[in-house]
Amino acid sequence: MVKTADLTKFQPGNIISDAVFYNPNTMTEAQIQSFLNGKVPTCRSGYVCLKSKTDITRSIPADAMCNAYAGGGVESSARIIHKVAQACGINPQALLVMLEKEQSLVSDTWPYDSQYRIAMGQGCPDTAACDSRYFGFFNQVHGAAWQLKRYANPPGTSNYFTWYAPGKTWNVRYHPNVSCGSSPVYVANKATAALYYYTPYQPNAAALRAGYGEGDGCSSYGNRNFYQLFTDWFGTPVYAVEGAIATYWQAQGADEGWVGSATAAMRSWPSLGWSQRFAGADLYFAVNGTQVFPTIGGTRDEYRLVGEAASGLGWPAGGVYAAAGGWYQDFRGGRVYVRPSDGRGFAVASPINEVYEAAGNIGGTLGWPSNRAYRYQDGSRQDFDGGSIFQGPTATVALDAALTSAYVGAGGPSQLGWPVSVGTTAAGQHIALEQALLLRSGGVTLTVRGAIHDAYAAAGGITGALGAPTGAEKSEGTARVQTFQGGTIYSTSAGTYAVTALAAALESGGGTAVLGYPTGPQRGAGASLSQDFGRTTLTTGRGGAFTVAGAIGNSYRAMGAAGSYLGAATGPETTVNGGFVQEFEGGRIVCSTKATVAVPSAVATAHDAAGGPTGRLGWPTTAASATLAGGWKQSYVGGDIFVAPDGRTGAAVVGVTLRTYLNAGGPSALGFPLAAEVESTPGWSQVFEKSVVFVPRGAPASVVSGAVYDTFTAAGGVEFLGFSLGPIARTGTGVRYQPFTQATMYITSSGAFYTRGYLRTFYDSLGASGGVLGVPKGNEYATAGGFRQDFNGGSLFVSGTGAFVARGALGAEYLRRGGETGPLGWPLGNETSGAGFWQQRFQNGILVLRANGTYEVR
């Protein structure tokens, strides 16, 4: 036999753990048979190997060591080993190992009958002959298993076997020869003690070095061979306990403590920590942890079942805490609750755990878990004594027992979608679901689902205008109908729409029997609302409830009904001058032979001021539209109405004025009209925000705008400068000017300046802008009892002394000396010249310029 076991790990005080030795469920009968077949594929001719061995078995009643064995006549060795293991609670692997170590029966290809007679060495002490009462394969296997259990002093037996009692240190001999000596051994568990009762010697160093070979004269091999065979065939019979887990385990009494013997090797959980299973608990120690946490009883069973740290619970985060007769344990991802009724544990993991905690966990309405979370359609569900928690794709929601029953009974997630939230109103408890709403009210369950639910949700659901359902969905004519506290939802081939604020208007209009079912949603805002019913629209607003129908109704709906600037109707449709008009909060709709169009309130006010449809404007021909400058423009038979964005500035613009206004750029260039057109003796004029349009009688129309308009309005407008006699023109020298009845406006690089009255007459007599004075540098102004106006080439002075020009070098010197307000006073004449001088007379002297450039006053 090839040695694979590392005998340096042999512990004389812990040869095999209790958890391994007393586990009868490690192999089935078929697995035992397969194991034997594998050890001896072919038996030597004429011999019966263990794989083929049979024996006559008898029934043995139960006692304190073993349960009853039901004899089966002739039974195979595999069946006998399996049944004895089950009856006596001994690992069948241990029985197989003992059959090999005692008589080599597992591997022997030509065994003798004598080997089967004392197959387990039961009743065969090292210092005496074998007891014939135990002869025979069945007797040996059952008797050995019975004896191994007896060594543990089970309840109901006398405490006889005490000289290798576990939890104490004993001197164990190396060999039957006393002179070979002994050494102290701390016997860690019952299974190791049983092996020493069965074979009361430990291997010495020579035996351990020899493996399956022989050591020296003081070597014994029984317990060495048991350990080595078990390890080679089935793995280690004793699991190492190390590190922090070992410290904790030893502090609890090691094998004899409540934690018990290790039943598995330590397991590493990458990035999490380490765990190890023991008979009485599983121990966990986290990476960078400071404390070992055990799982026990129902907590351990459940934690193992769901996959331990690989499950949604994650790593243990606390110990076990008593609660309401049961207990619970915290994990990083939830808890395991062990209910008091039967000690069963159930995991409650995130996100269900958070919802359960928010509901008060075991102290809340849900009470104790009644199962672990399970797959429920395309989500998860966990049941509790008082209800269930449902985990859907977007939310995790707790429902009490009544709501759970109602929800599941109504179709659950497949028909209603997953719960999104749960709440309570005066109407009762309700669940908002992905595809429905469920209400429990007075023991009655109402659901809102399908197309009606879609419309209900769009209207705000149970907290919206509709409120809670008051009845179940039902058929009514060609519609599906459901009533709510705040209205009704109708579903037809035209769509599904809620009627809420317009419910009273619908009722007063004759209901759906007269108006039909809604064909559109409620539109508008605040108290101004409308809704379509077939070819009729109902509106409600500050003026009351009215219907809008026919061509006006078509136009109203096309605009967006109450959602447009028109808002709700304020009266019924009326007949006006051969047309039809209906007033709305934000305007009116006019239906005439010209067009059916809406008129905003601001435009309607201007239209009414212009005489309405019987005035010059007549009926509108186009819908109101926005201008580039904002505001409104609307065309009529007799002109256009322009209204500024403020809604107050505006008026009608007609005739030549309209044409001139539009040609000059309309409201973007000239602004919006400030008033209606005015007729006067010279012609017609209309004032705009940034201009005036003039239409003189017998002269071309013109626009006063820009710098001319600024000067015109600053000077006093028509009252001061008169009526424009034409548009801006150019003189022969290229000077731009605009004529008025009382003035002429010159447009220069410095601005627009006018000449008027006598100054204009005198200026014109000097050749105006083409004369010696050139263009004005400013407007006329009163000074020292007269008037003065400055030009590029000089100045004009008009006073009681007459009208004169001061120009050139003399004029400049005159102005330097203070001009009309200086010592010379007003001019009394224009400049004259003589031989070698120039001069000009003033009130207080004559200013003379000599040829040498000097000035004098005479």
Mind listing the pLDDT tens digit for each residue in 165-190?
Answer: 998 899 999 999 999 999 999 898 89
In whole angstroms, give the CA distance from residue 841 to residue 846: 4
Instruction: Return the pLDDT at 68.
Output: 97
**707 pLDDT more than 90:** yes
Reduce the DSSP state of residue 361 to 3 states and report it.
Answer: helix
514: Cα separation from own chain's centroid: 45
Interval 218-236 mean pLDDT: 94
Q: Tell me, what's the pLDDT at 376? A: 95
Structure tokens at 123: 């009743």
Of 168-182, 234-248, 660-674, 696-710, which range is least confident?
234-248
pLDDT tens, residue by residue, 449-463: 999 999 999 999 999
Residue 500 above 90 pLDDT?
yes
Could you identify the residue written with the tokens 């729409």?
497
Whether pLDDT at 644 is above 90: yes
Question: Quick check: helix, strand or coil at residue 326?
Answer: strand
Contact criterion met (CB below 8 Å) for 53 and 117: no
Provide CB contacts within 8 A for 562, sequence distance 6+.
523, 524, 525, 528, 529, 530, 539, 541, 568
Tell whether the model's pLDDT for residue 129 goes beyond 80. no
Beta strands in 632-682 (DSSP E): 632-636, 639-643, 650-654, 678-679
CA–CA dist 223, 12 (Å, integer) = 8
| Euclidean distance between CA atoms 571 and 568, whole angstroms | 9
Report the residue count for the chain.
858
Average pLDDT for 106-120: 94
pLDDT at 240 over 90: no
Give me the amino acid identity at 826.
W
Question: Which pLDDT does position 720 carry in this prediction?
Answer: 96
Instruction: Name which residue leads in pLDDT, 142 or 241.
Output: 142
Judge whether residue 144 has pLDDT over 60: yes
End-to-end CA distance of the chain: 155
Instruction: Answer yes or no: is pLDDT of 55 > 90.
Output: yes
Q: Distance (Å, rounded) from C-alpha 855 to C-alpha 19?
A: 138
| 396/352 Cα distance (integer angstroms) | 6
Look at residue 3 in the predicted model and tell me its pLDDT: 64
C-alpha of 266 from chain center: 42
CB 364 within 8 A of CB 388: no
Smallest CA-to-CA distance from 657 within 669, 673, 636 is with: 673
Q: What is the DSSP-derived secondary structure letter of residue 270?
A: T
Hey, what are 366's tokens?
A: 């849900």
Checking if the pLDDT of 20 tops 60, the result is yes
Q: Retrieve residue 426's tokens.
A: 């005066």
Q: Which of the four pLDDT bands, split at 50, 70 and 90, describes residue 2?
A: low
- The answer on pLDDT for 468 being more than 90 is yes
Q: What is the mean pLDDT of the chain?
A: 94
pLDDT at 1 over 70: no
Tens digits of residue pLDDT in 824-841: 999 999 999 999 999 999
Mean pLDDT of 268-276: 95
- Supply the pTM of this predicted model: 0.60
d(CA 722, CA 436): 77
**Given pLDDT bands bounded at 50, 70 and 90, which one contains residue 442?**
confident
For residue 555, what are its two tokens?
């136009």
Q: What is the pLDDT averaged over residues 688-710?
A: 96
Q: What is the mean pLDDT of residues 112-121?
A: 92
**Collapsed DSSP state (helix, strand, coil) of residue 489:** strand
**pLDDT at res. 63:** 96
Q: For 537-567, what is each residue's pLDDT tens digit?
A: 999 998 899 999 999 999 999 999 999 999 9
Q: For residue 127, what pLDDT is reported?
A: 64
Residue 736 in tokens? 């731009």
DSSP type of residue 824:
T
pLDDT value for 780: 96
Give the three-class secondary structure for 369: strand
For 743-759, write each residue's pLDDT tens digit: 999 999 999 999 999 99
At 631, the amino acid letter reads G
pLDDT class of 262 with cuts at 50, 70, 90: confident
Residue 366 CA to residue 382 CA, distance in Å, equals 11
